[in-house]
């Protein structure tokens, strides 16, 4: 059974899902954009016999506190700091980590600062390589190099219902993606202050790319057991980003599924089998 909880962390209410036997190895599941921990709703029951699973919503996402962006710094450094405090509050000192999309730069920051915590990593379309950046990132580089209010506002399209639905369905077979996930994500875009906090994170994403060399150095030094399982048709984080892990980590295994960015929507059972067979 999955249970739903909240815990106070640094003055914030952090919502999280928990499943599995606490005597089993823990796996921390870190979601991406524009979603929250509900993206793991299919995967958690499939892994709960093997792992103790913890899936938080980051501040500003899902059911966690979402302070106004004028009172809370929406940067990936800060989200990693809060997530680290969340881990410490739960007394987790050894765990596997499943990272997706935004969860990758947050999770790899945690691994960089606390390598002793990490038993292994699943990166599902969680990029830390230049090779994995799709075409859209060139346009964002222009915004980062020459930021203007007009360019910032142009990214409000990223929260449009059609854009969010497209993130779920692009690269998938027709009729294979349930509307549940993207409908909930669209509902969250209508919460107060959503656009401003997400626009702050889009601007800050440049600092994740600047940290890629540090993340790669972590992989070379510690060589964690790592599974890069990728929706191969993802246009945002393209599949060479999965293959690139093998340059730096001799323990990296790469697996592709015939899906897009949100591969768990269509291939949760296959991804669960791959994880169980690998770890």
Both tokens of 158, joined, read 């990223």
pTM: 0.98
The boundaries of the domain holding residue 58 are 3-278
Nearest residue to 227 (alpha-carbon basis) of 129, 126, 87? 126
Options 31, 38, 69, 261, the catalytic residue: 261
Q: Is 261 assigned a catalytic role?
A: yes
202 Cβ neighbours under 8 A, 6+ residues apart = 140, 143, 155, 158
242: number of CA atoms within 13 Å, CB side?
A: 25
Looking at the structure of the chain, the number of domains it has is: 1
What are the tens digits of pLDDT across the range 88-100?
999 999 999 999 9
**How do residues 199-248 score in pLDDT, each as one tens digit?**
999 999 999 999 999 999 999 999 999 999 999 999 999 999 999 999 99
CATH of the domain at 204: 3.40.50.1820
Q: Which residues, in sequence order, are bridge partners of residue 231?
A: 257
57, 101, 102, 182 from 64: Cα distances, Å: 6, 18, 16, 18
Nearest alpha-carbon partner for 49 in 24, 69, 70, 74: 24
Given pLDDT bands bounded at 50, 70 and 90, which one contains residue 172?
very high
């Amino acid at each position: 059974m999955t249970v739903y909880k909240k815990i106070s962390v640094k003055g914030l209410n952090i919502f999280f899902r928990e499943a599995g036997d606490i005597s089993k190895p823990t796996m921390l599941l870190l979601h991406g954009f524009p979603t929250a921990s509900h993206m793991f709703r299919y995967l958690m029951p499939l892994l709960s016999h093997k792992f103790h699973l913890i899936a938080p919503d980051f501040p500003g996402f899902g059911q966690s506190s979402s302070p106004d962006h004028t009172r809370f710094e929406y940067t990936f450094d800060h989200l990693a700091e809060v997530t680290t405090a969340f881990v410490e509050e739960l007394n987790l000192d050894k765990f596997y980590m499943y990272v997706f999309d935004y969860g990758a730069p947050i999770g790899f920051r945690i691994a960089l600062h606390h390598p002793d915590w990490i038993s292994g990593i699943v990166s599902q379309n969680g990029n830390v390589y230049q090779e994995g950046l799709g075409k859209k990132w060139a346009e964002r580089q222009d915004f980062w190099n020459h930021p203007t209010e007009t360019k910032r506002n142009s990214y409000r399209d990223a929260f449009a219902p059609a854009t969010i639905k497209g993130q779920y369905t692009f690269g998938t077979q027709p009729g294979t993606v349930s509307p549940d996930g993207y409908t909930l994500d669209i509902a969250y875009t209508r919460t107060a202050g959503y656009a401003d906090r997400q626009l702050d994170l889009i601007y800050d994403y440049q600092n994740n790319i600047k940290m890629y060399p540090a993340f790669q150095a972590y992989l070379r030094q510690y060589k964690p057991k790592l599974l890069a399982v990728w929706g191969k048709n993802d246009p945002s984080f393209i599949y060479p980003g999965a293959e690139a892990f093998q340059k730096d980590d001799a323990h990296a295994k790469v697996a592709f599924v015939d899906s897009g960015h949100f591969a768990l929507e269509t291939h949760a059972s296959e991804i669960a089998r791959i994880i169980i067979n690998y770890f």
